[in-house]
Structure 1
Amino acid sequence: MMNLTCGLDFGTSNSTMAHRDADGVPYLLGLEAGRQTLPSVLFFGFEDDTIRFGREAVAEYVTGAEGRLMRSLKSVLGTALMSDTTRVKARSYGFLDILGIFIAEVKRRAEQELGGPVESIVCGRPVHFVDDDAEADRLAESQLESAVRAQGFRQIAFQFEPIAAALDYERQVSAEKLALIVDLGGGTSDFSVVRVSPERARAADRSADILSTAGVHVGGTDFDRLLSMAKVMPELGLGTRTRDGKRHLPVAPYYDLSTWHRINRLYTAQTLRDLRGTSREAAAPERVETMIALIEDRLGHRLVGAVEAAKIALSQATETDFRFPVRERMIETPMSVAELTAALDNSVERIAATIAEALRRAGIRAGAIDSLILTGGSTQVPAIARQLAALFPEAELVRTDVLGSVGLGLALDAGRKFGG
Structure 2
Amino acid sequence: MTDRRVLGLDFGTTNTVAATADALIPLDGAADGVFRTALCFWHDEDVRGGLAVEAGPAAIREYLEFPSDSRFIQSFKSVAASASFDTAPVFEKRYRFEDLGRLFLDKLRSHAAGALDRLDRVVVGRPVTYAGSRPDEAIARQRYDAMFAGFARDVHYVYEPLAAAYGFAAQLEQPATLLVADFGGGTSDFSVVRVDAPGAAQRCTPMGHAGIGLAGDRFDARIVDKLVLPFLGKGGDYRSFDKVLEIPPGYFADVADWSKLALMRNRRTLAELDRLKKSALDPEAIGRMIALIDNELGFPLYDAVSKLKRALTTGKGAHFAFHGAGVDIEADVTRAEFEGWIADDVQRIAATLDRALATAGVDDGRIDRIFLTGGTSLVPAVRRLFTDRFGAERIVSGGELTSIAHGLALIAGEDDVTAWTAS
Cα 1:175–1:132 shift into 2, 3 Å: farther
Shift in Å, 1:377: 0.2
Shift in Å, 1:257: 0.9
One-letter amino acid of the structure 2 residue matched with residue 32 of structure 1 = D
- More displaced 10-residue stretch of structure 1: 337-346 or 403-412: 337-346
Paired position in structure 2 for 1:15: 16
Q: What is the rounded CA distance, in whole Å, between the counterparts of 1:246 and 1:295 in structure 2?
A: 25
Paired position in structure 1 for 2:145: 145
Aligned partners of 1:41 and 1:53 also within 8 Å: yes
Seq. identity, %: 31
Aligned partners of 1:173 and 1:197 also within 8 Å: no
One-letter amino acid of the structure 2 residue matched with residue 157 of structure 1 = H
Shift in Å, 1:106: 2.6
1:316-335 alignment, distance < 5 Å: 316-335=314-333
Q: Secondary structure at the match of 1:42?
A: strand
Aligned partners of 1:122 and 1:157 also within 8 Å: yes
Aligned partners of 2:97 and 2:143 also within 8 Å: no
Q: Secondary structure at the match of 1:80?
A: coil
Cα 1:391–1:313 shift into 2, 3 Å: same
Paired position in structure 1 for 2:421: none
Paired position in structure 2 for 1:23: none
Aligned partners of 1:204 and 1:416 also within 8 Å: no
Q: What is the rounded CA distance, in whole Å, between the counterparts of 1:76 and 1:224 in structure 2?
A: 17
Confirm whether residue 87 of structure 1 aligns to residue 93 of structure 2: no
One-letter amino acid of the structure 2 residue matched with residue 156 of structure 1 = V
Cα 1:323–1:64 shift into 2, 3 Å: farther
One-letter amino acid of the structure 1 residue matched with residue 42 of structure 2 = G
Paired position in structure 2 for 1:342: 340
Q: What is the rounded CA distance, in whole Å, between the counterparts of 2:368 and 2:247 in structure 1?
A: 50
One-letter amino acid of the structure 2 residue matched with residue 262 of structure 1 = K
- More displaced 10-residue stretch of structure 1: 346-355 or 267-276: 267-276
Shift in Å, 1:92: 3.0
One-letter amino acid of the structure 2 residue matched with residue 60 of structure 1 = E
Q: Secondary structure at the match of 1:199?
A: coil
Shift in Å, 1:177: 1.5
Aligned partners of 2:81 and 2:132 also within 8 Å: no
Equivalent residue for 2:222, pick from 213, 222, 226: 226
Q: Secondary structure at the match of 1:333?
A: strand
Query: What is the aligned length?
Result: 407
One-letter amino acid of the structure 1 residue matched with residue 364 of structure 2 = A
| TM-score under structure 2 length normalisation | 0.88
1:96-147: CA deviations, max 9, x gaps? Answer: 1110111233344446147x6212111111112257968x213212321221
Paired position in structure 2 for 1:100: 102
- More displaced 10-residue stretch of structure 1: 355-364 or 397-406: 355-364
Aligned partners of 1:8 and 1:16 also within 8 Å: yes
One-letter amino acid of the structure 2 residue matched with residue 104 of structure 1 = D
- More displaced 10-residue stretch of structure 1: 278-287 or 166-175: 278-287
Shift in Å, 1:40: 0.6
Q: Secondary structure at the match of 1:354?
A: helix
Confirm whether residue 28 of structure 1 aligns to residue 28 of structure 2: no
Aligned partners of 1:17 and 1:110 also within 8 Å: no
Paired position in structure 2 for 1:56: 58
Q: Which runs of 5+ in 1 are unaligned?
A: 21-25
Cα 1:181–1:111 shift into 2, 3 Å: same
1:46-195 alignment, distance < 5 Å: 46-47=43-44, 49-65=51-67, 66-88=69-91, 90-110=92-112, 112-113=114-115, 117-129=118-130, 136-151=136-151, 153-195=152-194
Q: Which runs of 5+ in 2 are unaligned?
A: 46-50, 418-423
Q: Secondary structure at the match of 1:330?
A: strand
Paired position in structure 1 for 2:420: none
Q: What is the rounded CA distance, in whole Å, between the counterparts of 2:386 and 2:237 in structure 1?
A: 39
Equivalent residue for 1:289, pick from 287, 291, 295: 287
Q: What is the rounded CA distance, in whole Å, between the counterparts of 2:409 and 2:167 in structure 1?
A: 9
| TM-score under structure 1 length normalisation | 0.89
Q: What is the rounded CA distance, in whole Å, between the counterparts of 2:80 and 2:201 in structure 1?
A: 32
Confirm whether residue 279 of structure 1 aligns to residue 281 of structure 2: no
Q: Secondary structure at the match of 1:50?
A: strand
Aligned partners of 2:80 and 2:140 also within 8 Å: yes
Q: What is the rounded CA distance, in whole Å, between the counterparts of 2:184 and 2:327 in structure 1?
A: 34
Aligned partners of 1:16 and 1:31 also within 8 Å: no
Q: Secondary structure at the match of 1:195?
A: strand
One-letter amino acid of the structure 1 residue matched with residue 130 of structure 2 = F
